[in-house]
């Protein structure tokens, strides 16, 4: 096995190239989010969308400060996902109110997302993920379609739910 010396002076195994990983993540991310925005825009279901950037996320506003849909595309672990992201300044007001309606929300979403995946974090999320192979163009297209569909569902359900919280 090939090894290299780390800055700490200890030998570590050399990372081998994984053919199932995206070779230029920034270019891939920019292309992915551009396609995502185009597909989402074509539906006419969400009124305002941001300009795609070469990040592993793409946010969609739902009408409340500090609450948004955070779409993710992880090229290292080959998954995409959509999360309702509630930031710390409003988490104490919105998360418990949403959690009290968990069953109704799950029913409206048509799935059971992961609620509060990281309980020790100050921000809270309600998330749904889809494992895929982002190096396969057909799988990438399927992942985009899945993400667009789930983003619309999350937008419709959560924009209504958070607006009803006083």
Q: Residue 40: which H helix or E strand, with range?
A: helix 25-43
Q: List, for residues 44-65, the tens digit of each pLDDT value.
A: 999 999 999 999 999 999 999 9
Residues 95-128 pLDDT 10s:
999 999 999 999 999 999 999 978 899 999 999 9
Note whether 49 and 37 are within 8 A (CB): yes
- The rounded distance, in Å, linking the Cα atoms of 44 and 156 is 13
More confident residue, 6 or 71: 71
Give residue 166's pLDDT: 83
Residue 148 has pLDDT above 90, yes or no: yes
* Nearest-5° Cα angle at 117, 54 to 59: 30
pTM of the model as a whole: 0.85
Residues above pLDDT 70, as percent of the chain: 87
Q: What are phi and psi of 160, to 5 degrees?
A: -70, -45
Tokens representing residue 26 in the block = 């920034």
Q: Is the per-residue pLDDT at 22 higher than 90?
A: no
Cβ contacts of residue 84 below 8 Å, gap of 6+? 62, 67, 68, 69, 70, 98, 125, 126, 127, 154, 158
User: Can you say how many angstroms the Cα of residue 98 is from the centroid of all Cα atoms in its chain?
Assistant: 19
Taking every pair of Cα atoms in the chain, the longest distance, rounded to a whole number of angstroms, is 60
Residues near 16 by beta carbon (within 8 Å), at least 6 away in sequence: none
């Amino acid at each position: 096995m090939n090894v290299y010396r780390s800055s700490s002076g200890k030998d570590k195994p050399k990372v081998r190239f994984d053919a199932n990983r995206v070779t230029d993540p920034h270019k891939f991310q920019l292309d992915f989010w551009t396609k995502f925005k185009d597909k989402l825009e074509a539906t006419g279901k969400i009124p305002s969308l941001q300009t795609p950037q070469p990040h592993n996320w793409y946010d969609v506003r739902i009408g409340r400060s500090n609450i948004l849909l955070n779409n993710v595309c992880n090229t290292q672990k080959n998954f995409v996902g959509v999360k309702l992201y509630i930031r710390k300044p409003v988490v104490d007001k919105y998360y418990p109110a949403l959690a009290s309606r968990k069953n109704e929300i799950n029913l409206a979403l048509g799935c059971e997302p992961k609620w509060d995946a990281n309980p020790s974090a100050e921000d809270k999320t309600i998330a749904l993920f889809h494992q895929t192979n982002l190096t396969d163009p057909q799988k990438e297209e399927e992942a985009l379609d899945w993400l667009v569909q789930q983003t619309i569902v999350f937008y419709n359900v959560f924009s209504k739910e958070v607006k009803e919280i006083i």
